[in-house]
Structure 1
Amino acid sequence: MMSSVARDSGHPVPAGWSLEPLPVGELLVRSASAHADKPALDFQGRIWTYRQLLAEATAAAQGFLDLGVERGTRVGLFLPNTPHYPIAYYGALLAGATVVNFSPLYSSEEVAFQARDSGTEIMVCLDLARLWAPMQRLLDDGLLKHLVVGNLPEVLPALKAIGFRLAKRKERQPLPRDARVLTWSTLLWPGAQHPLPVVDPKAIALLQYTGGTTGTPKGAALTHANLTANAEQLAAIDPGHGTREGRVLGALPLFHIFANSCVLNRSVLSGATITLIARFEPGEALAAIRRNRLTDLAGVPAMYQAMIDHPDCAKTSFATVKQCFSGGAAMTAALKERYEATTGARVLEGYGLTETSGVVSVNPYVGETRAGTAGLPLPLTEIRIVDPEAPDRLLGPEEAGEILVRGPQVMTGYWRSDVNAPEPLADGWLHTGDLGFVEPGGYLRLVDRSKDMINVGGFKVFPSQVEAALLKDPAIKEALVIAIPDPRVGERPKAFCVLNEGHETTPAAILKLVSVRVGKHERPAEIEILDDLPRTLIGKPDRKALAKREAEKRAATA
């Protein structure tokens, strides 16, 4: 089956709408012209207008050029959600550099690998002691030409800055005497003035690293045109774009592609205000909704669960919230129903990948929101469902197969593809490695990752279907299913469950209930109850980490 979607896809778009390939920095330049005095960022009560954000991003661009940045120079960002991130991000892109995102949660080994693989020459970080070890490793290994170090007091309101300096001074890292290390203020005020380069929309803007289908970290090479296309697609399907004032929760980590597309670039394109939260805390997110009357939220299901479980939810009005984007992991029907009933806000589930600049499909703002689906493909985005073992064979309606995607947001390929081969692109089609099917009406429903599928004596078992059956048990809050070895049939499912507060049950009782809901080959061989599931950087359950932990445990007891 093939679902080809353009402007008549089911997502209404403005008459005459078309994509305009742009450099990412142009999004900020245009919004600063159209919304100069409108708040762009709110961080702990300190405001940057669009005029101020552009001025500081331009100053950062001058600083990067003064450090020798040329077209394509890789500039790494090792930053939490503070104003340093958007200023350095747009500044580096205005200077013609390629941004490389690093998670502040990475180990020194992971940071060093990615810095080597990407060829990062300049890194931007904060002087927080807990984040310093990977930066010292880069300096010791001689991997950086320059390390730019910011601090929190310089971006906080005056009184909070004084309080931080007094109460948190032990959390700050003294800077080494090293000619390669310079401060954030030095970057922003270098003295010299350089002409900003003309940036080609086809140039690589962002190297976004992903584990991919092989588990080997790879840098998805995303062009300026890829990133701005995704921002324009998201704006086009929003019936309120250009007519309502957007106030967006910035709690998702900006170094993740989900936040890059749905929080940062989309908001800047629309002239919205981003309330930045350095690290997601449900109480702080709820306080931001109350204080700033937020209109748009973006998060993974665990974030929405945490907000409605928090005691402050009862005193928080969601009346101004127009929509809540959910991605990164499937949201259970029970959570969606409870969240919408509790808050009155509408949840729009979607689907995307690092390799697609963020978003492929999403449930529509207006019309049917189909629970459990990834919604409708974005404008100018095509989806194919093919036989994973014979990719040239298109599958029929509602047949599950591998999802292929083609559109203006799809990457050009992987960085250093000679090292990270094979390429997942053929004739512009991205082989996602995800399994799913298209329902009547064009809604995409995901089944699983192809690599997560469990082969039980030749029978295909989709973990998501077993998880859905487990979650019908009222005692179970979360469930994750992985493959474990079986000497007779090769593999069998094992389920890990987290219980709802106040509920008690046993693995035997869970197995008894789930056995009537799944086939014999789908029944878990083992069930283990955990206090919590391991999670990825953005908070979704981490199947890979759980499988690794299980394999290590089995090896140790073999």
Structure 2
Amino acid sequence: MSSESVADDADSPAGGPSAPGSRQVGWNSRYDHPVDWSHRFEARSVPDMLLQTATRYPGRTFIHFEGRNFTYGEIADRASEAAEGFRRLGVERGVNVGLFLPNCPHYVVAYYGIMMAGGTVVNFSPLYTADELAFQAEDAHVDTMVCLDLEQLFPAIAEVQARGILKTLIVGNIAEVLPPLKSLAYRLFRRGDRARIGYGRTRLRYDSLFRNGKISRPAAIAVSEDIALIQYTGGTTGRPKGALLTHANLSINAAQVHAVDPEPGNLDRILGALPLFHVFANTCVLNRSVLAGDEVILIPKFDLDTVLKLIPAMQITTLPGVPTMYRAMLDHPDIANYDLTSLRICISGGAPMPAELRSAFVKKTGAAIAEGYGLTESSGVVSVNPYLTGGKPGSIGHPLPGTQIIIADREDPHHILPQGEHGEITVRGPQIMRGYWGRPEKNEDTFVDGRLRTGDVGYLDADGYGFIVDRMKDLILVGGFNVYPSTLEAELYRHEAVKEAIVIGIDDKRLGQRPKAFVVLEEGAEVSEAVLLSYLNEHVGKHERAAALEIRAELPKTMIGKLSRKELVDEERAKSASCC
């Protein structure tokens, strides 16, 4: 395995004076992160990060899971043994292996072990249906999958194997990673949670990976060329696409995130509640922690009571999350009874955090919140507000070192707009993907002049702080006017009765489209749909007025818990089709 010095070829931040053709100038004297924007990062292979940290801190706890501690030395040894096991199964450079796992030690070991053998990891969400699993496995040329024997997960992956798409399943069980007493209790009293596997030539036990010792020589990896991870997008428009993330992309993004921490020498305890199969957690929880030698308190999924108990019990210092997680914590009736003072920083990403939620959370808990921004295609993180000051509420912060945020004309992305004007956010940096797996036509649409087109509409203020206005695909076209759903959602959040809100466009014969709002009320709130609709329309422009508003018990969410428009758009389209 190898490493090299890699940085973006741009010479100045966020459209600064040295960016060719840029008109966004004059702010680069202010950069609020505690590291120079021009800092160059060493690109390494992803397993090298683990091996180097394990060499420095072999006895330090890496993973705490359900009461059991795994040290860096133990995980590195297990990953090396798994690498040999994978190698004997034919895993090498160019071979893609799937992980269909919740947060658990199996994921961590297999993730680094596959890469150590030279293979590429493909993440699969445990929320996927059999059809979604089948599509992605076929698309990514995956024929080997690591999974668990959980009854709620295994039948779906078994169906995919029965279709002939997957050749080999490597099946683990939770009992083998629990403390002895918990393991015994699980085996005795939780048998109903486990599926019948039928082990054999095509269904192997997870522990069979570890029967041949450590890999004698980890695969040689070209860090800037070899793909470490194929991370699929959410597929909100068209079929999902696999972003090709190199070892350099992932290792540098981990280093960038670590570099903006003003206290990088502190031993942090990170709460691993976000799913590791998602790019946000993959960088901010897993790889960044490995790079720094931090401890990850890993839980299978976000459970509110578990999180609130773990924070004081484990003295958790860092909590990466999405706005709905912070909302759930804030709404807990006994939040005041939990000591959250160990929290040094809460990192919010995945979706914009409403200003009212941010203010209320900080006031009630005393914890600082730093909002950030990133995409699957950027290995996870593009920008973040400074940790110490919190930056500017509602902003996505300053770009990470070596990263440019450039605002381009939405119709002509080659044309860069003056600072302060609204346009499409484009990004250049060493963490940007190589392209999409098997989709050359999408690569042509996604990159312009070496910049990634994000599809987000935003602007940079005079201090170089980025702000997102909306998604280009979510724009509502009302009689020729652009209406941003986020504008209406922000107004709804200002109403004391509104807990969650989504606005979408629905068909309108006269104007083409009109906004429609969907809201969830705060517990105990009593307000009618008509009153809320009237409130909203009184506070927005005439062309932005909503045609309808629905109050619902809950709104759809993505796999990491952020609000999702897709299901509501599909629902409204089906209604429109059935009545015409």
Q: TM-score, normalised by structure 2?
A: 0.93
User: What is the CA deviation profile of residues 36-80 of structure 1, one whole-angstrom value per residue up to 9, with x for unaligned ones?
Assistant: 111000001100011111011111111101111111210100000
TM superposition shift of 1:211: 3.7
One-letter identity of the residue aligned with 2:81: A
| Structure 1 residue 420, shift from structure 2 partner | 4.9
Query: In the alignment, which of 196, 206, 211 is matched to residue 229 of structure 2?
Result: 206
8 Å Cα contact 2:516/2:546 also seen in 1: yes
> Does the aligned pair in 1 maintain the 2:231–2:244 contact within 8 Å?
yes
Matched with 2:209 is 187
| Kept in 1: contact 2:479–2:511 (CA 8 A) | yes
The corresponding residue for 1:229 is 252
Does the 8 A contact of 2:369 with 2:387 survive in 1? no
Q: In 2, Cα distance between the equivalents of 1:489 and 1:519?
A: 15
Q: Does 1:438 align with 2:460?
A: yes
- The 2-side partners of 1:75 and 1:525 are apart by 48
2:288: which partner in 1? Answer: 266
Q: Indicate the residue corresponding to 1:40 in structure 2.
A: 62
Per-residue deviation, 1:8: 7.1
Given the alignment, which residue of 169, 175, 196 partners 1:174? 196
Q: Deviations over 1:534-557 (max 9, x none)?
A: 000000111111111222233334
> How far has the Cα of 1:511 moved from its partner?
2.1
Change (3 A) 1:285 1:420: same
Q: Does structure 2 retain, via aligned residues, the 8 Å contact 1:3–1:384?
A: yes
Question: Residues 24-423 of structure 1: matches in 2 within 5 Å?
Answer: 24-190=46-212, 193-202=215-224, 203-211=226-234, 214-241=237-264, 243-418=265-440, 420=442, 422-423=444-445
Question: 2:577 — aligned with what?
Answer: 555
1:3 paired residue among 4, 15, 36 = 15
* Letter in structure 1 aligned against 2:383: S
Question: How much does 1:144 deviate?
Answer: 2.4
Instruction: Report the counterpart of residue 477 of structure 1 in structure 2.
Output: 499
Using the alignment, how far apart are the partners of 1:215 and 1:400 within structure 2?
26
Q: CA offset at residue 510 of structure 1?
A: 1.1
Report the 3-state secondary structure (helix = DSSP H, G, I; strand = E; otherwise coil) of the residue aligned with 1:129.
coil
> How many angstroms apart in 2 are the aligned matches of 1:32 and 1:191?
18
Q: How many residues align?
A: 557
- More off after superposition, 456-465 vs 28-37: 28-37
**CA offsets per residue over residues 1-29 of structure 1, 9 Å max, x none?**
96349997331217994200110011101
Taking only aligned residues, the RMSD between alpha carbons, in angstroms, comes to 1.8
Point out where structure 2 has 5 or more consecutive residues left out of the alignment: 1-12, 20-27
Distance 1:15 1:545 in 2: 40
Separation (CA, whole Å) in 2 of partners of 1:212 and 1:403 = 20
Give 1:3's aligned amino acid.
Answer: G
Which moves more between the two structures, 390-399 or 523-532? 390-399
Write the distance in 1 (CA, Å) between the matches of 2:213 and 2:402: 45
Give yes or no for contact 2:231–2:245 (8 Å, CA) kept in 1. Answer: yes
Q: How much has 1:417 moved relative to structure 2?
A: 2.0
The equivalent residue for 2:25 is none
| 8 Å CA contact 2:285, 2:320 repeated in 1 | yes
Measured in 2, the distance between the counterparts of 1:57 and 1:358 equals 23
The separation in 2 between residues aligned to 1:493 and 1:343, in whole angstroms, is: 35
Q: Percent of aligned positions with the same letter in both sequences?
A: 48
CA distance in 2, matches of 1:40, 1:191: 22
AA at the equivalent of 2:168 = H
Q: Tell me, yes or no, if the aligned pair for 1:376 and 1:443 is still in contact at 8 Å.
A: yes
Pair 175,237 (structure 1): closer, same or farther in 2 beyond 3 Å: same
Shift in CA distance, 32/98, structure 1 to aligned 2, threshold 3 Å:
same
Q: Which amino acid letter does the alignment assign opposite residue 505 of structure 2?
A: A
What amino acid is aligned across from residue 251 of structure 2 in structure 1? T
Quote the Cα distance in structure 2 between the aligned partners of 1:294 and 1:312: 19
Conservation of the 8 A alpha-carbon contact between 1:2 and 1:394: no
Structure 1 CA distance, aligned partners of 2:191 and 2:441? 44
Contact 1:479–1:496, Cα closer than 8 Å, also in 2: yes
For 2:42, the equivalent position in structure 1 comes to: 20
CA distance in 2, matches of 1:212, 1:185: 34
TM-score under structure 1 length normalisation: 0.97
Q: What is residue 526 of structure 1 aligned with on the other side? A: 548
Residue 425 of structure 1 aligns with an amino acid whose one-letter code is F
Letter in 2 for 1:97: G
Unpaired runs of 5+ residues, structure 1, are none
Q: CA deviation at 1:312?
A: 4.3
C-alpha distance in structure 2 between counterparts of 1:151 and 1:368, whole Å: 41
Which amino acid in the other structure matches residue 337 of structure 1? S
Deviations 1:74-111 (A, max 9, x none): 01000000110111101111111000000000000000
Q: Which amino acid aligns with 2:231?
A: Q
Output one character per residue of 1:304-331: Cα deviation in whole Å (capped at 9) or x when no partner.
1111222442222121111000011111
CA contact (8 A) 1:7 1:380 kept: no
Q: Residues 507-549 of structure 1, C-alpha deviation per residue, up to 9 Å, x if partnerless?
A: 2211222223210111110011111110000001111111112
Aligned-pair distance for 1:214?
3.8
Displacement of 1:251 in angstroms is: 0.4
The Cα offsets for residues 352-380 of structure 1, whole Å up to 9 and x where unpaired, read as: 00000000000001235211111110000
User: Aligned equivalents of 1:257 and 1:328: distance in 2?
Assistant: 10
Alignment check: 8 A CA contact 2:410 2:423 kept: yes
State the SS of the aligned residue for 1:391: coil
When residues 192 and 384 of structure 1 are mapped into structure 2, their CA distance, relative to the original with a 3 A threshold, is closer
Question: Structure 2 CA distance, aligned partners of 1:38 and 1:312?
Answer: 34
Query: 1: distance between equivalents of 2:180 and 2:14?
Result: 57
For residues 320-353 of structure 1, the C-alpha deviation after alignment (integer angstroms, 9 at most, x for no partner) is 1110000111111111011111111001001000
Paired AA for residue 76 in structure 2: L
Take 1:404 and 1:419, find their aligned partners in 2: how far apart are those partners? Answer: 19
What CA distance in whole angstroms lies between the structure 2 residues aligned with 1:535 and 1:26? 35
Q: Are residues 166 and 557 of structure 1, via their aligned partners in 2, closer, same or farther at CA, if it must alter by over 3 Å?
A: farther
Q: Secondary structure at the match of 1:436?
A: strand
Which segment is superposed worse, 421-430 or 469-478? 421-430
User: SS state of the match for residue 219, structure 2?
Assistant: coil
Indicate conservation of the 8 Å contact 1:73/1:121, yes or no. no
Q: Partners in 1 of 2:164 and 2:204 — Cα distance?
A: 16
Secondary structure at 1:474 match in 2 = coil
